[in-house]
Homo-oligomer: A and B are copies of this chain.
Amino acid sequence: MSGYTGVTQEDLEIMLGAIGVASIDELFDSIPAGVRLRRPIDLPPGLPEQAVYAELRRLAARNVSAEDEITFLGAGMYDHYVPSIVDMLMSRSEFLTPYTPYQPEISQGGLQVMFEYQTAISELTGLPVSNASVYEGPSAVGAAAYLAKLANRRPRVLVSRGVHPDSRATLQTLAVGYGTTVEEIALDDGVTDLDALREAMGDDVSAVILQQPNFLGAIEDVAAIADAAHEHGALAICAADPLTLGVLEAPGNQGADVCVGEGQTLGNRLDFGGPSFGFFAATDAHIRRMPGRIAGETTDVDGRRGFVLTLQTREQHIRREKATSNICTSQALNALGGVVYLSWLGRTGITELAELMLQRTHYARETLAALDGVSKLHDRPVVREFALRLEAPVDKVLDRCAAAGINAGYRLGRTYDEHPDGLLVAITEQRTRADIDRLADVLGEAVAAERATAQVPA
């Protein structure tokens, strides 16, 4: 008996008696001798709650989190402030503990949240149909290409090199399964090379995938790329950072057929990468090809407004091998966080927040690019993140900054071989001008110190 199970001696006797066996062991008789575990599970003994807490605190203390340093790390997830009401609502038992709403009569809360979430995502993306969430951003890109495959059965997808490296990798992994070939379209001064894209297009292209803003922070011309795709009857799939859509035109209004993305920026924690949620929106034409749950409005027998999981004939539990996706458990709780966050930000707030990031990002970019040994990696307009080029080894510069309590950003060389000297710097509403100025000081010193070291003959 643990603190979570409660079979007393009396219970045990009554229960075994009712079943008609002499021991619990007997209930496992159907397990053949040959596959039995004949020793205890080899794990440390159980611990009281306080000891588990202490252990998890010990581990937490071995991480340098955004609470411990001033961080300019982004690259797909961002240190935004999570409002307290998000935590409060996500931790309510009624939202935290139920399963997927299979019994709508007692799940109206969760179903309506999905419906509201879908509405908010639809508004943000400018597309009429949103599902209730997918796992996260990069796999959403893979799922979008699968939708394209279901839509037109063409064998190739073209993906901009400005799409998140994890998204491209995930797409590649999944595409091997569903038999699509993935080809990359290079960047030209920071944005998708439209000429290269047009060159690569053909009637065998299923979809073109871009990211807004792209991984180097640059704003893409979604409309131009969508046009290039549509010219050949391919789908235009846009991965987007939803918060930037406070100032950037909605992909749906620029011709994207599908808009997906990472929802972490919408009131979800960093959590070392998850759980967050992916969003997935599309035009009406694709509603019956969408992956995952979709909540729909209906009425009950007494005429009351209500919500249900709808269009379930797309889904694995009904259609099995003919389903449009295998997804089952997705990210309902995180999507709740998303819609609460969007409600909290509100219609004016999302623009204000995005505008604040835009202005601070501009300030940071100009301030840093003015440092000796630091320059812009590209000149394109940016919203919340930008790429720099350092005339010093980026890893060493980052170490120096870290020692001063600053995480200066993402070393582009980790995923872009062509930019070994690249540094990606992200801004959120939590990074003030004072933080940026401090980064400038620390980064300037670090670059200078590294250049001085390099000048010393070995």
Contacts and interface: CB of A to CB of B under 8 A. Distances in A.
A81 B429 contact: no
Interface stretch (A83-91, A138-146, A248-256): A83-91
A49 B91 contact: no
Contact of A50 (B50, B88, B91, B429): B429
Contact of A49 (B53, B57, B83, B88): B83
Contacts of A430: 50
Nearest to A80: B50
Interface in A81-108: 81, 83-84, 88, 91-93
A350 to B, nearest CB: 15
A65 B53 CA distance: 16
Contacts of A57: 67
Interface in A24-66: 49-50, 53, 57
A84 B50 contact: no
Contacts of A84: 49
Contacts of A91: 88, 91
Contacts of A50: 81, 429-430
A229 to B, nearest CB: 39
Contact of A81 (B53, B67, B93): B53
Contacts of A67: 57
Contacts of A88: 91
Nearest to A94: B92
Contacts of A93: 92
Nearest to A54: B430
Nearest to A344: B3
Contacts of A83: 49
A268 to B, nearest CB: 16
12 contacts: A49-B81, A49-B83, A49-B84, A50-B81, A50-B429, A50-B430, A53-B81, A57-B67, A88-B91, A91-B91, A92-B92, A92-B93
Given A50-B429, A53-B81, 10 more contacts: A49-B81, A49-B83, A49-B84, A50-B81, A50-B430, A57-B67, A88-B91, A91-B91, A92-B92, A92-B93
User: Would you list the 10 A-B pairs with minimal beta carbon distance, nearest first?
Assistant: A50-B81, A49-B83, A50-B430, A50-B429, A49-B81, A49-B84, A53-B81, A88-B91, A92-B92, A91-B91
